[in-house]
């Protein structure tokens, strides 16, 4: 496979033989037989497989990109939720404390004594 | 204002539990009521009046919170068993967090991946890496089965961003947290001195007699959890180096050992079996006796991430001159109350030089130990520290404006008399 080829492309493989003397003859016979019996049958299948692979690879890349976007959205939402919760709960404590102090003040006014603002 | 103390309490075997108990007793006067929220099954050893109520943590049960009228004070450390529920709560219900550790990566690893929760691991890393590459890093680390670089990813971000305020015990960690979120409310308060008052008069000789230790030996000692970062390999090397000229020099290590850390094998390899004692876990009182029995304490730590060191505080409170690493949070300490050893290539030479000097100079040992004791009494007084906690929480509740960069000192430290060194 050359460097410019995509990872999913399927290629025809040349025949090879490790036999020392008759190896070349074996390869020649196989090639001849292939060109007669299987070449015209296998080539369209390879093309068909390459088309399937190309489409699957494209889909995979698309899904990956979408997953990345979804992950980024989740991270942002998580981050926004953290900040929002901190702000809201902080405000809740402040308001609750304000109410508590107003109660104390009201009670003191009602009883006619000076309000004592106990440390938190 | 009401307070919920969320974190381990004695008999949990952690310094944070001891610290929290003493703190609670002094926080009591500053709050209308205090409820202790403890892990399931915990039976805290509390005296009547320490807290108003004890509630066991249950997932989703926030009745103790009383719709925002109870402020949680989270004690967050890195012990998986004691702090998992603390982390779970603090990331859901904002409160004030006392952060005792400067690197939560091992903790997060244990509570996510080791529980089969890859989703939570990816989420934590995503929150921690602000440039958007967190989840990619997480997936890469999962594919390669390799944790991220702890120097870059300490996983403290969620703690900082979930909390209304964070209290730490040194400026090193404060500065790190402010880099994560410059707008965060980060305060520095000292650890509380947990020394038992009834051992106040116990001197070195008495402590040794009680512990059946030889009064004529020169004892180096460590207390607390034994882990590679405590630099005991360097101390053993030192012992080996000085052994021929100092036959009475010994090392005692008091505290539990980290699993998979084979210190005994290292001791055997160096032939130091006769000179080193590994005592293991001991009671609170015995720990203090050991701290008093040592001639020199060793509290080295490297790498360090600004974690709290209650063991150092115990040694200093006992009046024991102590060697610390000149790094992280230890740098906050004044130079005359501890002996600072540089980390890295200079460590061994500095250790050797200082121990040789201390071996022959009882006056110097007494001066450093005495200064340490006074420092702890002044800076780590539980009542003063509790008032600083209460002030910090009060400011948060009242929505006081906060600008961490306006003053290098945190506002709660303003109660410390001028001229006193800060913790």
Q: Considering only CB atoms, which chain B residues are within 8 Å of A71?
A: 126, 135
Provide DSSP, B148-177: PPTTT----HHHHHH-SEEEESSHHHHHHH
Cβ atoms of B154 and B166 within 8 Å: the answer is no
Tell me the per-residue pLDDT of A86-106, one tens digit each, with 9 for 90 and over.
Answer: 999 999 999 998 998 899 999
- For the record, the structure tokens of A83 come out as 């900040």
Long-range residue pairs from A103-107, CB within 8 A, at least 24 positions apart, any chain: none
* Spatial CA neighbour of B97 closest among B77, B112, B125: B77
Give the tokens for residue B195: 């020394």
Q: How many CA atoms lie within 13 A of B145 on its CB side?
A: 1
Relative orientation angle of helices B232-242 and B347-359, to the nearest 10 degrees: 50
What is the pLDDT at residue A26?
Answer: 84
pLDDT of residue A62: 96
Cα B334 from Cα B371, distance rounded (Å): 10
Tens-binned pLDDT, residue by residue, of chain B (423 aa): 899 999 999 999 888 999 999 999 999 999 999 999 999 999 999 999 999 999 999 988 888 888 778 999 999 999 999 999 999 999 999 999 999 999 999 899 999 988 889 889 988 888 887 777 888 888 888 888 888 887 778 999 999 999 999 999 999 999 999 999 999 999 999 999 998 878 878 999 999 999 999 999 999 999 998 999 899 999 999 999 999 999 999 999 999 998 888 999 999 999 999 999 999 999 888 999 999 999 999 999 999 988 889 999 999 999 999 999 999 999 999 999 999 999 999 999 999 999 999 999 999 999 999 999 999 999 999 999 999 999 999 999 987 765 544 444 443 333 333 333 333
Q: What is the largest CA-CA distance in chain B?
A: 67
- From the centroid of its chain, how far is CA B181? 23
> Cα B17 to chain center, whole Å?
11
Of the residues B72, B94, B133, the best mutation for testing chain A's interface (the one with the most A CB atoms within 10 Å of its CB) is B94
CA dist B29 and B39 (Å) reads: 25
Subunit contact A92:B68, Cβ cutoff 8 A = yes
What tokens were used for B307?
């974690």
Asked if the Cβ–Cβ distance from B164 to A90 is below 8 Å, we say yes
For residue B259, give both structure tokens. 């699993």
Q: Does pLDDT of A3 surpass 70? A: no
Tracing tokens 């550790």 back to the chain, one arrives at B101
**Cβ of residue B158 closer than 8 Å to a chain A Cβ:** yes
Structure token digits, residue B276: 């080193």
B233-244: burial string, b at 16+ Cβ within 10 Å, e else: ebbbbbbeebbe
Strands B276-280 and B322-325: unpaired
Residue A22, SS3?
coil
List CB contacts (< 8 A) between B393 and chain A: 120
**For B34, nearest residue in chain A (alpha carbons):** A120
Hey, is the C-beta of B133 within 8 angstroms of any chain A C-beta?
A: no
Task: From chain B, pick out residues whose CB is under 8 angstroms from the CB of A72.
Answer: 132
Of B68, B135, B163, which is closest to A96 when you measure between CB atoms?
B68
Q: How far is CA A87 from CA A80, B72, B91, B130, in A?
A: 11, 15, 14, 20
Q: Tell whether ipTM is more than 0.85.
A: no
Asked if B68 lies within 8 A of A86 by C-beta distance, the reply is no
Of B141, B77, B75, B69, which Cα lies nearest the Cα of B111?
B77
Q: Any idea where the domains of chain B sit in the sequence?
A: 2-104+156-188, 197-379
Q: Tell me whether the CATH fold assigned to B2-104+156-188 matches the one assigned to B197-379.
A: yes
pLDDT computed for residue B418 by the predictor: 34
pLDDT for the residue B403: 53
Give which of B45, B9, B15 is closest to B313, Cα–Cα: B15
Do B126 and A75 count as a contact with CB atoms less than 8 A apart?
yes
Q: Check the CA dihedral A76-A78-A79-A84 and report its sign.
A: positive
Q: Would you list the domain boundaries of chain A?
A: 23-111
Arch. (CATH architecture) of B197-379: 3-Layer(aba) Sandwich (3.40)
Interface contact flag, A79 B127, Cβ < 8 Å: yes
Are the beta carbons of A83 and B161 separated by less than 8 Å?
A: yes
Inter-chain CB proximity A94 and B397 less than 8 Å: yes
- CB count within 10 Å of CB B184 equals 20
CATH number for the region B2-104+156-188 comes to: 3.40.50.11930
Q: Is the pLDDT score of A120 beyond 90? A: no
From chain B, the residues in CB contact with A69 under 8 A are none
């Amino acid at each position: 496979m050359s460097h410019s080829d995509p990872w999913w492309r399927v290629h025809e493989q040349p025949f090879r033989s490790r036999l020392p003397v008759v190896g070349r003859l074996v390869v020649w016979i196989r090639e001849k037989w292939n060109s007669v019996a299987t070449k015209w049958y296998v080539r369209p299948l390879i093309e068909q497989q390459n088309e399937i692979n190309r489409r699957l690879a494209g889909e995979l890349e698309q899904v990956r990109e979408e997953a990345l976007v979804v992950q980024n959205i989740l991270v942002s939402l998580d981050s926004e939720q953290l900040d929002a919760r901190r702000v809201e709960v902080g405000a809740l404590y402040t308001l609750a404390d304000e109410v508590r102090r107003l109660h104390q003040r009201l009670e003191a006014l009602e009883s006619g004594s000076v309000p004592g603002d106990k440390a938190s | 204002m009401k307070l919920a103390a969320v974190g381990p309490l004695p008999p949990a075997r952690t310094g944070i539990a001891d610290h929290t108990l003493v703190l609670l007793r002094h926080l009591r006067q500053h709050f209308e009521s205090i409820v202790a929220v403890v892990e399931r099954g915990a039976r805290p050893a509390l005296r009547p009046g320490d807290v108003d109520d004890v509630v066991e943590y249950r997932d989703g049960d926030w009745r103790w919170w009383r719709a925002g009228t109870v402020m949680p004070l989270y004690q967050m450390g890195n012990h998986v068993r004691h702090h998992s529920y603390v982390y779970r709560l603090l990331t859901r219900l904002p409160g004030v967090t006392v952060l005792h550790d400067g690197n939560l990566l091992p903790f997060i690893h244990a509570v996510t991946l080791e529980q089969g929760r890859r989703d939570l691991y990816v989420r934590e890393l995503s929150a921690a890496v602000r440039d958007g590459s967190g989840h990619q890093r997480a997936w890469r680390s999962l594919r390669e089965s390799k944790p991220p670089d702890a120097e870059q990813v300490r996983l403290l971000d969620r703690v900082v961003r979930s909390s209304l305020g964070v209290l730490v015990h040194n400026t090193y960690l404060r500065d790190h947290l402010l880099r994560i979120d410059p707008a965060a409310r980060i305060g520095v308060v000292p650890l509380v001195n947990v020394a038992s008052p009834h051992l106040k008069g116990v001197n070195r000789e008495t402590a040794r007699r009680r512990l059946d230790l030889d009064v004529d030996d020169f004892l180096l000692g460590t207390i607390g959890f034994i882990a590679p970062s405590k630099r005991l390999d360097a101390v053993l090397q030192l012992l080996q180096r000085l052994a021929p000229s100092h036959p009475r020099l010994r090392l005692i290590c008091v505290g539990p050992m980290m699993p998979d850390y084979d210190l005994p094998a290292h001791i055997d390899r160096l032939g130091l079996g006769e000179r080193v004692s590994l005592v293991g876990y001991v009671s609170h009182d015995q720990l203090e006796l050991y701290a008093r029995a040592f001639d020199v304490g060793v509290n080295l730590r490297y790498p360090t991430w600004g974690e709290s060191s209650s063991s150092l505080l115990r040694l200093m409170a006992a009046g024991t001159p102590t060697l610390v690493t000149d790094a992280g949070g230890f740098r906050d300490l004044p130079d005359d109350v501890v002996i600072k050893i540089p980390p890295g290539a200079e460590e061994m030479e500095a250790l050797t030089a200082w121990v040789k000097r201390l071996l022959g100079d009882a006056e110097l040992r007494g001066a450093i130990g005495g200064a340490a004791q006074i420092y702890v009494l002044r800076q780590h007084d539980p009542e003063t520290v509790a008032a600083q906690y209460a002030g910090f929480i009060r400011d948060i509740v009242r929505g006081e404006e906060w600008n961490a960069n306006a003053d290098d000192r945190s506002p709660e430290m303003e109660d410390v008399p001028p001229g006193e060194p800060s913790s």
